[in-house]
């Protein structure tokens, strides 16, 4: 047989047997000849690839996708934290200070729902003994004067018609003044300050106990409306807000963010961006909880859009995807990627147009040893 014809036929057969995902982004042949696979079960081969029998693939639920290159908007990850809406948050503080007493329903606890105007407790003002003695002495003096004024008014009213009317009216005015002073001083001796809920919501923090002595302006309770939360992100680029298209929370697909505004002054070298968070059945958020904002920017980036679970890490902590090479062999391929949202990423480097990528079960493949 003609020697060139034999070589051409062998090359054609080898090319036909190569799997669709055996070529890298630059056309390099990834499926180099390696050790024979083991039919006994999932096996990590010496070159780092994994031999996975068909039955094991079905048990692990491995699914693949022929990655297609497309254009999508670039994203950036921003560190952020959950904050309360200042118009949906209230603090309960004592103005005068004193001893804490329970309200009609007892002192509230963290997590309890309250309504605006509810009395959460009382604070009784503490008076030193000398001041208390002076007030009691003054109250006794005023009470005696009021009793004498009552007698004088009664006597003048019995002589009405024989005494000038102006004398009777003056006596009545003096009596009313003494009675008002008596009520004011009497009320101040046993005064207690009500602790009233400023808004309707949930008690976030409760720092008061029965009998506790508190100082003036000390925060005793914090109340928030959990349906009105905000997220504050830190942007290292001051012009990021002008290129912002949309934003989501990483790992929290049940929440949507609406951009409200950006600060005009840097804080710790970053520009604060404020978002309104709206929950649609996602996990609950807590005030002060650290989160990551995935901000989608205007413009386009070209790459392969894949589910976020397609990305795993190799022993060198490099991001990799698993490429199917043959019926029972999978190869880890290092890649570079960007997060698109809470459930998708775009691979910008490392994949070719013929790569069949594992989109489900990649983390299980990475655990095979």
In the prediction, which pLDDT does 21 show?
A: 54
Mean pLDDT over 262-287 rounds to 87
pLDDT reading at 17 higher than 50 = no
Report the SS3 class of residue 12: helix
Residue of 222, 292, 262, 256 lying closest to 82 (CA atoms)? 292
Rounded Cα distance between 208 and 196, Å, is: 14
pLDDT digits (tens, 9 = 90+) for 154-203: 888 888 778 888 888 888 898 898 888 888 877 666 678 899 999 999 99
pLDDT, residue 130, reads 75
- Residue 14, pLDDT above cutoff 70: no
- Kindly write down the DSSP assignment for every residue of 33-62, as one continuous string: --PPPPTTS-EE-TTS-EE--HHHHHHHT-
Percent of the chain whose predicted confidence (pLDDT) is above 70: 86
Tokens 């009664």 belong to which residue? Answer: 154
Residue 25: what pLDDT? 59
Neighbours of 233 (CB within 10 A): 24
Which of 5, 21, 73, 102 lies closest to 339, judged by CA? 73
In this prediction, residues 261-274 reach a mean pLDDT of 89
pLDDT score recorded for residue 206: 92
Q: Is the pLDDT of residue 271 over 80?
A: yes
DSSP label of 269: T
Under the phi-then-psi rule, with left for phi > 0, alpha for psi from -120 to 50, and beta for the rest, what region is 115? Answer: beta
More confident residue, 25 or 307: 307
pLDDT number for residue 234: 92
Which pLDDT tens digit goes with each residue over 335-369? 999 887 767 888 988 898 888 999 999 999 888 88
Residue 16 pLDDT greater than 70, yes or no: no
Contact partners, residue 240, CB within 8 Å, separation at least 6: 76, 271, 273, 295, 297
Listed in sequence order, the DSSP H helices in the chain are 3-17, 54-60, 129-158, 165-189, 362-366
**Residue bearing tokens 């925060």:** 219
Strand ranges, E, within 59-145: 63-66, 69-72, 75-84, 89-93, 98-102, 113-114, 119-124
- Residues 195, 120 contacting (CB under 8 angstroms): yes
Burial class (CB in 10 A: 0-12, 13-18, 19+), 2: exposed
**What is the spatial distance between Cα 243 and Cα 262, in angstroms, rounded to a whole number?**
12
C-alpha 346/C-alpha 336 separation (Å) is 9
DSSP line for 129-188: HHHHHHHHHHHHHHHHHHHHHHHHHHHHHHTBTTB-HHHHHHHHHHHHHHHHHHHHHHHH
Q: Which pLDDT band holds residue 22 (cuts at 50, 70, 90)?
A: low
Q: How far is CA 62 from CA 22, 204, 229, 233, 328, in A?
A: 18, 44, 39, 37, 11
């Amino acid at each position: 047989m003609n020697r060139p014809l034999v070589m051409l036929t062998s090359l054609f057969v080898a090319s036909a047997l190569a799997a669709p995902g055996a070529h890298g982004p630059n056309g390099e042949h990834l499926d180099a000849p390696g050790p024979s696979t083991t039919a006994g079960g999932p096996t990590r081969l010496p070159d780092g690839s994994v031999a996975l029998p068909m039955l094991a693939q079905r048990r692990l639920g491995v699914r693949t996708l022929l990655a297609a290159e497309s254009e999508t908007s670039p994203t950036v990850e921003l560190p952020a934290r959950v904050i309360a809406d200042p118009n949906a948050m209230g603090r309960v503080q004592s103005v005068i200070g004193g001893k804490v007493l329970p309200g009609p329903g007892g002192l509230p606890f963290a997590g309890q729902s309250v309504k605006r105007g509810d009395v959460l407790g009382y604070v009784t003002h503490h008076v030193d003994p000398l001041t208390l003695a002076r007030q009691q002495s003054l109250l006794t003096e005023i009470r005696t004067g009021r009793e004498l004024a009552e007698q004088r008014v009664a006597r003048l009213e019995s002589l009405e018609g024989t005494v000038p009317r102006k004398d009777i009216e003056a006596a009545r005015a003096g009596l009313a003044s003494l009675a008002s002073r008596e009520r004011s001083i009497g009320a101040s001796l046993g005064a207690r300050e009500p602790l009233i809920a400023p808004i309707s919501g949930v008690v976030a923090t409760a720092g008061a106990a029965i009998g506790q002595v508190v100082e003036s302006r000390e925060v005793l309770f914090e109340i928030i409306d959990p349906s009105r939360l905000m997220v504050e992100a830190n942007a290292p680029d001051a012009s990021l807000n002008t290129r912002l298209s949309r934003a989501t929370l990483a790992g929290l697909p049940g929440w949507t963010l609406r951009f409200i505004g950006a600060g005009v002054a840097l804080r710790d070298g970053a520009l604060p961006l404020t978002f309104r968070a709206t929950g649609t059945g996602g996990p609950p958020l807590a005030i002060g909880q650290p989160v990551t904002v995935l901000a989608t920017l205007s413009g386009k980036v070209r790459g392969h859009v894949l589910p976020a679970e397609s990305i795993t890490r190799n022993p060198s902590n490099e991001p990799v995807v698993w490429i199917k090479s043959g019926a029972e062999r999978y190869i880890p391929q290092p890649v570079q990627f960007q997060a698109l949202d809470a459930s998708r990423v775009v691979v910008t480097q490392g994949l070719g147009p013929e790569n069949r990528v594992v989109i489900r079960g990649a983390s299980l493949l990475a655990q095979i040893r």
